[in-house]
Structures are given as structure tokens and as C-alpha cells.
Structure 1
Amino acid sequence: MAKKHDESKDLFRVSRVCSVDYNDKLIRVRDKSRIGIKTWGRIDFLVHYCNWHCIYDRTAAISDRSDESTKSYREIKKENKQRKLTDKRDGNKRSKAKAQG
């Protein structure tokens, strides 16, 4: 059974590896090898059901996501792990009850 797609969610995911022009409803693919099977499925949904157009453009620039591109994969993974650990401790009801009195 196929997953249900959402236009805004799919555009966000596709914009990670492709250039997306919201004014012209245009998706510019730069490098086919960076696009996986799930992303091709999202592009297919956008093209066939949401009236978007897909073209192959060697000069397409992918939007850079903050400073994460300069960090290594290991550093990003470590930061995400730290966030999870601190969220679990802060969300514990027993520790809140002990802190209040």
C-alpha cells in the first residue's frame, strides 16, 4: 500500500537535495545520483498530482542549511544525542516533583 503524500512536506524533503522554485512551481535537479528512491517518489507525486515541473539543470544551487554543512556527520549526531538526553531528564515528572518540594 502506498503512503499518503503531503505537498508541503514533500517540498521540504525535496528541497534538501534539489533546488525548488515556488513561484514557477519548478523543481531543478542537479545531480541524479544524490536522489534516492523515496525522493524520486516525492518528485513523482509533485509532478503528476500537484502540477509541479521537474527539469535537470547542472547550474541549480541547493539551498544551504545554516552551518550544518560545515560540521561533520559525527558532530551533528553527537549534538542530536545530547538534545535527546537533556529532553528526557527535563520531561521526567518525578524529578519535577522532587525539585518543587
Structure 2
Amino acid sequence: MTLTRKGSRPITVGGVEYRWAIRPKPTYSQGLGATMTYAIELAERPGPVLVVDTGRPRPDNWLDQTTEPVTPAEVADGIRAALARGFDFT
């Protein structure tokens, strides 16, 4: 699985370029308040995709649960945490 270029955002962490994306529309369970996820992969050599669970609902959930959007700083922290735990993007 690779991310589409359309809708993905670039981010650089530790001198390495990545792309990340959030699903454009919620899944049915996310609409009902299930946690939001986002995906990250290397920008130059797409390969394994890291899926990060935010632990909070999407801002566009159908139940009007309050939440916060995903920020680039949060994505960078997720990449660093995954690398520290041994995730290999190659």
C-alpha cells in the first residue's frame, strides 16, 4: 500500500522526507467516534506504511464529540517514536 500524492502532505524529520495523510472522509466507525488514524511513508521510496492511531475522534465525527486536529508537530513526534521503537520505513 502506498499513499496517493493527492491529499498527502510532506514533512521532514531528521533530514529525511516523508509524506503523511489522513483519510478524506471518516469510515463508518470513525463517524461514530472511533479513533482517528493517519498514515506515513517515505517520500522518495514508498514502501512500508506506518499507521498511527491518535487516540481521539476525528473532528468531523457525526456525534459532535470535541477533539483536536492532527498537527505536523504531532506527526513528527509519531515518526520519531516509531523510529525509536525500531520501525523501518525501507
Q: TM-score range by the shorter chain?
A: under 0.3
Decide which structure has the larger Cα Rg and report it. Answer: 1
TM-score calculated relative to the size of structure 2 = 0.26
**Which has the larger helix fraction?**
1
